[in-house]
């Protein structure tokens, strides 16, 4: 457990979503569901570059204090396994360009799903995968 000292500063762009992607999303949802008590809804739209349609399970994780970070587990046989968190930005394309100018690399996007959510992926200068999301 991390001990906080002094005032907590607010984050400029908050983390708004996390994903766990793998080749067998049903297995992963079963595993994390059992491990953490998570429940999933698989009916929502998702960009085809993020997961196979119908195989992405959304969840809304809210703790006892009301803190909330939604997430999802998806993928399919053609997807590489990875975990990523998404940072809210007003413009995914602009944020991807800025990331590239700072030494990052564009991996995906911008992509828009049927509900209007725009996402992108980048890697930082050390190769860590980060997601960007412009909420509709």
Q: What is the pLDDT of residue 1?
A: 46
> pTM score, two decimals?
0.81
Question: CA–CA distance from 72 to each of 55, 102, 129 (Å)?
Answer: 10, 29, 16
pLDDT digits (tens, 9 = 90+) for 32-77: 999 888 899 998 888 898 999 999 999 987 767 777 788 999 999 9
17-134 has CATH 3.40.640.10 classification: no
Q: Taken in order 22, 62, 91, 98, is the CA torsion positive or negative?
A: negative
Other C-beta atoms closer than 10 Å to the C-beta of 97 total 12
* CA within 13 Å, CB half, 34: 5
- With vertex at residue 87, the alpha carbon angle to CA 49 and CA 93, rounded to the nearest 5 degrees, is 60
Write down the domain spans for the chain: 17-134
Taking only Cα atoms into account, the Rg of the chain, rounded to an integer number of angstroms, comes to 16
What's the rounded mean pLDDT across residues 20-26? Answer: 96
């Amino acid at each position: 457990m991390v001990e906080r000292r002094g005032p907590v500063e607010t984050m400029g762009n908050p983390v708004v979503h996390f994903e766990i992607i793998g080749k067998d999303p049903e297995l992963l949802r079963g595993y994390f569901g059992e491990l953490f008590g998570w429940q999933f809804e698989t009916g929502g739209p998702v960009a085809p570059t993020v997961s196979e349609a119908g195989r992405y399970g959304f969840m809304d994780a809210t703790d006892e204090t009301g803190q909330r970070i939604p997430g999802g587990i998806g993928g399919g046989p053609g997807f590489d396994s990875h975990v990523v968190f998404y940072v809210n930005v007003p413009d995914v394309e602009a944020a991807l360009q800025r990331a590239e100018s700072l030494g990052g690399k564009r991996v995906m996007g911008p992509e828009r799903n049927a509900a209007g959510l725009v996402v992108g992926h980048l890697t930082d200068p050390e190769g860590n995968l980060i997601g960007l999301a412009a909420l509709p």
